[in-house]
Amino acid sequence: MSDTLPGLEGRIHVQLRLKAGRVADVTVTSTRRVQACRVLEGRGLEEVPRLVSLLFSVCRNAQVQAAQTACEQAMGQAPDPAGWVRRELQVLAETLHEHCRMVLVDWPFLLGEEPDVAGFARVRAALHDIRRVLTADENVVVDRAVSDTLKAFGTVVRECLALDADVLGDEAALRTWAHARRGPTARSLHRVLEMGLGGFGRSDVAPLPPIDPGDLDAALNADWAGELAARPHWQGRVYETGPLARMHDHPLLMGALLERYGNGLLTRLAARLLELLALPQRMCNLLNLPDLEREIHQSGCGNGTGIGLGVVEAARGRLVHRVEAVDGKVVRYQILAPTEWNFHPEGALTRGLLHSDAGDVEMFRRNLSLLVAALDPCVAYDVTVQ
């Protein structure tokens, strides 16, 4: 087998049927190759993380972290605490990049505002400094250097967003910041409020709860047909994952937005913004964990049974890799990705769109594009309205 591996690219197809100016039916289909990871079968466990880095172009660090953890478990290797922390920091830096691109470039573009290209360039430069430290010689202690670069990054982000330290403490502060329209991101949220889109896409789909690793392993082990990987569910229910699920308990969301707008558009946008602002401190906290706590905090220690499970919170949501190996060779590899949760045919997008007002079709298309972006697929998508 060559080292050029086929990726999981594909598309999300969203087809809507309108009746009397409302959405009467939603069909979400995917051409993502969720079984493409089977090309790893037959390879040695030591090779898998490097090959996974070739297989994925989106959220590559999260994919590698999940693969590395799964393989370490299968081989019975407890990860080096410092190495685990470095890998986890790379995943969080990747999430920072994805969130910044979304709030500075994608939101303004989709809402007819001028994207903050210059601001995003500043953010990328600051992220480059973080990544440079994280990819330095593994013998170099990263704690102080990363801490300094994270502080610089946080300053750049707040300057780009024209945010004061406590500006998002409650809904009134969020509205004050948005209505001041100091920058493309604030103007984007102002547009959402002005157009009454706060609850657009609201549904009864709940955040994906914590799942016991043993139960998750058993469910994936039984998934020989690949149905769970393609159309995931848990205990008979479809869930969503991502920034909203992770930030669900934040006071701003719990105290006002979820009650007023549910998991609608404004709540989703605010959740991503809140997570973006919280990540630098979260990364600093990770650096400051005592060694023993770092070991306990790891996603799993090796069991040496030939079976491993790597669970990582990637930018778009919870990512799971599962490996089975015999004599150090992969005999089965499975991936459960966030996109399959969030774009499940009976998931958040479908339920959030059913019965929506679509009287102005062109405006509805624009709003739909923003909702899809808020759910954030890792592939391109297209929409057909009939």
1 band by pLDDT with thresholds 50, 70 and 90: very low
Q: Mean of the pLDDT values across residues 144-158?
A: 84
| CB-count burial class (<10 Å; 0-12, 13-18, 19+) for 385 | middle
Q: Mean of the pLDDT values across residues 340-348?
A: 94
pLDDT at 145: 74
Judged against a pLDDT cut of 80, whether residue 117 lies above it is answered with yes
Closest CA to 105 of 184, 45, 208: 184
Which tokens sit at 90? Answer: 């790379």
Judged against a pLDDT cut of 50, whether residue 195 lies above it is answered with yes
Rounded Cα distance, 201 and 374, in Å: 10
Contact status, residue 227 vs residue 143, Cβ threshold 8 Å = no
Rounded Cα distance, 131 and 63, in Å: 17
Q: Mean of the pLDDT values across residues 109-134?
A: 90
pLDDT at 185: 94
Judged against a pLDDT cut of 70, whether residue 13 lies above it is answered with yes
Rounded Cα distance, 287 and 291, in Å: 10
Q: How far is CA 326 from CA 42, 282, 288, 323, in A?
A: 10, 38, 38, 10
pLDDT at 3: 46
Buried b (16+ CB within 10 A) or exposed e, 276-300: bbebbeebbebbeeeeeebeeebbb
pLDDT at 321: 96
pLDDT at 377: 86
246-288 pLDDT, tens digit per residue, is 999 999 898 789 999 999 999 999 999 999 999 988 888 887 7
Q: Across the chain, what does the average pLDDT equal?
A: 88
Contact status, residue 64 vs residue 53, Cβ threshold 8 Å = yes
Judged against a pLDDT cut of 80, whether residue 290 lies above it is answered with no
Least confident of 33-37, 139-143, 186-190: 139-143
Break the chain into its structural domains and give their ranges.
7-34+357-386, 35-79+212-239+302-336, 81-205+241-297
